Chain A
């Protein structure tokens, strides 16, 4: 839930906590964004299928680069790390839609 709130909207202390946790997670050091490292459940897989081509290609590149860096046990230079402010949850709208469709189907299947 905390991650769904945009960085700008959260209050000062909460935001600092978010930022601290983000830096500790350290996936930004190999150039990844939050939605690149989501655990691939069926919903996430379906949402990724629905990404527009350019967004999908950018995601594929970031993941490929991160795998390469991890193999070499390196990180990117500091200026290339993903910044907390620039980390957009690009997959969220598609995830929401998949979740809504699932909920609708469950509701109808339970009723009729």
Chain B
């Protein structure tokens, strides 16, 4: 009886083995062709860019020129409130429907923002892109802002402000931006405490009408067909034919010492001067200088003194734990360059003095060619390796699309980095170091020197 059952079983097993063997000996399928980035400008003014990477998952980002720099004193923090309002009811869908609808399609929708842009990211299966983008279009073009839904933002905003309190590095970055620029780029990403709960539906609507026009948007896709994305851009995102919002030019003022004393064992400080904007010729030289000074760590749990000049210099001055990194922020019309340091409250003065002296040394030409070469390699590696992650790829493509409607590939950037010389580095270091400095400090300030005691 058992042998009768075993016979067909063994026959089936033999045929499976034969099939597997066949599959291995058959020729592998031809690889799919590598596609290039495609960029189109639509009739409604929107820029659409896409890169087909043959992924089963489509990642689409909508970048809107509606960051915190477009806020005025009357509506400070409105971009923060708008970020939190991305899941609220629209004319077509209720808040519940938005969440469940995107979930049932297997997608995800995320709203984030920077100083210059409001970013909506959609991840979805390739076949569901149209439906998922339909939800996004509804959020961006026809939100209702029901008063009871908008007032629920206050609690969520309070959570984000509480998280900010636990991140002194971010808090100091916000302080130094506010000190360096006053308005426009100085507007914080987070709503000030006085404005919590004060963002009314009318305020949100007014900000959206001012900033959310088709001309100030870019729809960017990774793993999407370009023609499909162009069609969806025309159909779904023809929002308003008005002109883009007036962008107050960012004017670096500097010379300000912004300090906030809180009882904390660690003191965090940032000292910056004006750096370079995204379309400046100095952009890559400053990036190399940043790597030279220290933008690691490259080895986990390491001392990070081998390639970080700042850390090397400070390690000679103190035995206590510390952290220094070169601060480099680039925006469309300005930038900040300097250092960000954290140390126990008693040591912060020593740390800052040692770090600042390293900057001074570079301007006097104390730079080895080998160090510059290493910094260039590190920058190239960082740029190319970040493109391994499709999220970084999408962000890079989107930022270029929304601001320039063109695309410079990472390989082109790597080639430009190769052509930077040591003299260029020293020259740009001199220009930056001799600019008007700005300082921000947060923590126990009892031993934190003032700006005029450092530079």
Chain A residues near B (Cβ < 8 Å):
49-50, 52, 101, 104-105, 108, 112
Contacting residues, chain B, for A50 (C-beta < 8 A):
146-148
Q: List 16 A-B contacts (CB under 8 A).
A: A49-B148, A50-B146, A50-B147, A50-B148, A52-B147, A101-B94, A101-B96, A104-B94, A104-B96, A104-B97, A105-B96, A108-B96, A108-B97, A108-B100, A112-B100, A112-B104
B155 to chain A, nearest CB (A): 15
14 new A-B contacts at CB < 8 Å, known A49-B148, A101-B96 = A50-B146, A50-B147, A50-B148, A52-B147, A101-B94, A104-B94, A104-B96, A104-B97, A105-B96, A108-B96, A108-B97, A108-B100, A112-B100, A112-B104
Instruction: Rank and list the top 8 A-B pairs by shortest CB-CB distance, nearest first.
Output: A50-B148, A108-B100, A105-B96, A101-B94, A112-B104, A104-B96, A104-B94, A104-B97
Contacting residues, chain A, for B100 (C-beta < 8 A):
108, 112
Contacting residues, chain A, for B148 (C-beta < 8 A):
49-50
Total A-B pairs, Cβ < 8 A: 16
Contacting residues, chain A, for B146 (C-beta < 8 A):
50
Alpha-carbon distance between A102 and B417 when the two chains are bound, in angstroms:
59
Question: Which residue from chain B places its CB closest to the CB of A101 in the assembled complex?
Answer: B94
B131 to chain A, nearest CB (A): 15
Alpha-carbon distance between A112 and B100 when the two chains are bound, in angstroms:
10
Alpha-carbon distance between A63 and B405 when the two chains are bound, in angstroms:
62
A-side interface mostly: helix
Contacting residues, chain A, for B147 (C-beta < 8 A):
50, 52
B-side interface mostly: helix
Question: Which residue from chain A places its CB closest to the CB of B104 in the assembled complex?
Answer: A112
Scan residues 257-296 of chain B and give those whose CB is less than 8 A from a CB of chain A. Answer: none
Question: Which residue from chain A places its CB closest to the CB of B100 in the assembled complex?
Answer: A108
Chain B residues near A (Cβ < 8 Å):
94, 96-97, 100, 104, 146-148
Alpha-carbon distance between A104 and B146 when the two chains are bound, in angstroms:
18
Contacting residues, chain B, for A112 (C-beta < 8 A):
100, 104
Contacting residues, chain A, for B94 (C-beta < 8 A):
101, 104
A9 to chain B, nearest CB (A): 27
Contacting residues, chain B, for A104 (C-beta < 8 A):
94, 96-97
Alpha-carbon distance between A104 and B97 when the two chains are bound, in angstroms:
8
Contacting residues, chain B, for A49 (C-beta < 8 A):
148
Contacting residues, chain A, for B104 (C-beta < 8 A):
112
A109 to chain B, nearest CB (A): 9
Question: Which residue from chain B places its CB closest to the CB of A53 in the assembled complex?
Answer: B147
Question: Which residue from chain A places its CB closest to the CB of B101 in the assembled complex?
Answer: A108
B141 to chain A, nearest CB (A): 21
Question: Which residue from chain A places its CB closest to the CB of B99 in the assembled complex?
Answer: A108
A55 to chain B, nearest CB (A): 12
Contacting residues, chain B, for A101 (C-beta < 8 A):
94, 96
Alpha-carbon distance between A41 and B100 when the two chains are bound, in angstroms:
27
Alpha-carbon distance between A52 and B146 when the two chains are bound, in angstroms:
11
A97 to chain B, nearest CB (A): 9
Alpha-carbon distance between A112 and B97 when the two chains are bound, in angstroms:
13
Question: Which residue from chain B places its CB closest to the CB of A94 in the assembled complex?
Answer: B148
B137 to chain A, nearest CB (A): 20
Contacting residues, chain A, for B97 (C-beta < 8 A):
104, 108
Question: Which residue from chain A places its CB closest to the CB of B97 in the assembled complex?
Answer: A104
B154 to chain A, nearest CB (A): 15
Alpha-carbon distance between A108 and B146 when the two chains are bound, in angstroms:
22
Alpha-carbon distance between A101 and B94 when the two chains are bound, in angstroms:
8
A62 to chain B, nearest CB (A): 22
Alpha-carbon distance between A112 and B148 when the two chains are bound, in angstroms:
27
Alpha-carbon distance between A101 and B104 when the two chains are bound, in angstroms:
18
Alpha-carbon distance between A50 and B149 when the two chains are bound, in angstroms:
9
Question: Which residue from chain A places its CB closest to the CB of B149 in the assembled complex?
Answer: A50
B57 to chain A, nearest CB (A): 21
Question: Which residue from chain B places its CB closest to the CB of A46 in the assembled complex?
Answer: B148
Contacting residues, chain B, for A108 (C-beta < 8 A):
96-97, 100
Alpha-carbon distance between A108 and B94 when the two chains are bound, in angstroms:
13
B145 to chain A, nearest CB (A): 13
Alpha-carbon distance between A101 and B98 when the two chains are bound, in angstroms:
12
A73 to chain B, nearest CB (A): 38
Alpha-carbon distance between A101 and B97 when the two chains are bound, in angstroms:
9
A50 to chain B, nearest CB (A): 5
